[in-house]
């Protein structure tokens, strides 16, 4: 039996959380087809330090000498930020090569409208101008848009996502797995199309993600390479934590080990969420500790897999954990 469960765990300290739910009954009108897109899969996520952001984008060639983010925010002068580049070789028959670029902003004042562009070639060309409104990671409340299972052929919820973003009804998006259906298809060109499709929302609001079973191909290669979550250097996006308002949010992929075939990786990572993502900035109390399974290989008749139990979740109660 092959399956996977991805959850976000929200640990809260005395403040109620309002979450906007995206329903499958959203309008099927495809006016979103007319939204401007850069063609470079630009997306935004929360940075490791409160009120910073990571901008991620892809190009078919390396950017020399550096990938660059051009930032224009009210509280800083026009700023050029050098980014990093990682090679991404798909494991399909063509072994397509792309380059994933990441650049982190400095801390930005909450409530500011920020304009930005990214470099896209070695001739000085940059993307179209994109914008987002900064949020307050140190506020006393938090609003999330929470959903999963968003494909490319029938994305009926996407127009509602566009409206949610335009109306600023939430601070952060939590996409809890299953992207594109599936990102590896057609030598990963399907994933390229999907990222360009969602760019009007994903470049305008921070999006935090968990992988689902549809990301499992090639040991989650597309997911590990394309996204930029906190603690990425340690977990390759498969688990992470971040602060937002009164929350410590842990992104956890459960039962990853039940579908992995990578014999080179066999371990359980136990980590303290105070490390690796700026925990010294927290004012609301101590971080919880938890365990995340990372590509732990087991036999398919193992009790923990077949019985759909997860030892990493033992000890948590419904009063302390909201499983999404």
pLDDT in tens, 202-222: 999 999 998 888 898 999 999
Asked, for residue 319, whether it belongs to a domain, the answer is no
**Angle of CA points 46, 49, 54, to nearest 5°:** 35
* pLDDT higher than 50, residue 263: no
Check residue 5 and give its pLDDT: 46
Check residue 29 and give its pLDDT: 45
Looking at per-residue pLDDT, the higher value among 137 and 14 belongs to 137
* Residue burial 224-250, b: 16+ Cβ < 10 Å; e: rest: bbbbbbbbbeebbbbbbbbbbbbbbbb
Structural domain containing residue 257 = 5-313
Identify which of 130, 134, 135, 164 has the alpha carbon closest to the alpha carbon of residue 147.
Answer: 164
Looking at per-residue pLDDT, the higher value among 264 and 170 belongs to 170
Asked, for residue 324, whether it belongs to a domain, the answer is no
**22-35-193-231 Cα dihedral, nearest 10 degrees:** -60
Tokens of 227: 């996204």
Asked, for residue 244, whether it belongs to a domain, the answer is yes
Asked, for residue 259, whether it belongs to a domain, the answer is yes
Confidence of residue 256 (pLDDT cuts 50, 70, 90): low
Asked, for residue 320, whether it belongs to a domain, the answer is no
Preceding peptide of 182 cis, ω within 30°: yes
Check residue 228 and give its pLDDT: 97
Asked, for residue 321, whether it belongs to a domain, the answer is no
Q: How many domains in the chain?
A: 1
Give pLDDT tens digits for 15-46: 333 333 433 333 344 445 567 788 999 999 99
Average pLDDT over residues 118-133: 96
Provide the whole-model pTM. Answer: 0.79
């Amino acid at each position: 039996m092959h399956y996977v469960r991805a959850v976000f765990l929200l640990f809260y300290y005395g403040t109620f959380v309002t979450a906007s739910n995206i329903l499958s009954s959203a309008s099927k009108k495809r006016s979103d087809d007319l939204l401007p897109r850069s063609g470079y899969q630009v997306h935004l996520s929360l940075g490791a330090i409160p009120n910073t952001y990571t901008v991620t984008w892809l190009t078919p060639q390396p950017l020399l000498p550096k990938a660059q983010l051009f930032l224009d925010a009210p509280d800083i002068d026009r700023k050029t930020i050098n980014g990093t580049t990682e090679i991404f070789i798909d494991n399909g028959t063509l072994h397509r090569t792309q380059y994933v670029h990441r650049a982190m902003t400095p801390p930005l004042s909450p409530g500011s409208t920020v304009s930005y562009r990214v470099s896209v070639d070695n001739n000085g060309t940059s993307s179209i101008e994109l914008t987002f409104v900064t949020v307050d990671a140190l506020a006393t409340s938090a609003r999330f848009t929470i959903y999963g299972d968003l494909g490319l052929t029938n994305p009926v919820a996407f127009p509602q996502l566009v409206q949610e973003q335009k109306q600023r009804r939430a601070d952060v998006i939590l996409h809890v797995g299953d992207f594109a259906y599936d990102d590896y298809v057609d030598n990963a060109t399907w994933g390229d199309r999907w990222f360009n499709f969602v760019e009007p929302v994903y470049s305008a609001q921070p999006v935090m993600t968990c992988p689902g079973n549809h990301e499992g191909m090639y040991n989650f290669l597309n997911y590990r390479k394309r996204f930029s979550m906190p603690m990425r250097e340690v977990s390759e996006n498969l688990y992470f934590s971040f602060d937002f308002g009164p929350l410590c949010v842990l992104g956890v992929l459960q039962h990853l080990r039940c579908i992995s075939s990578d014999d080179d990786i066999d371990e359980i990572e136990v980590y303290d969420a105070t490390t690796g993502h700026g925990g010294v900035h927290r004012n609301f109390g101590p971080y919880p500790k938890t365990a995340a399974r990372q590509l732990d290989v087991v036999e398919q008749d193992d009790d923990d897999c077949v019985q759909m139990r997860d030892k990493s979740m033992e000890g948590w109660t419904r009063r302390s954990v909201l499983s999404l």
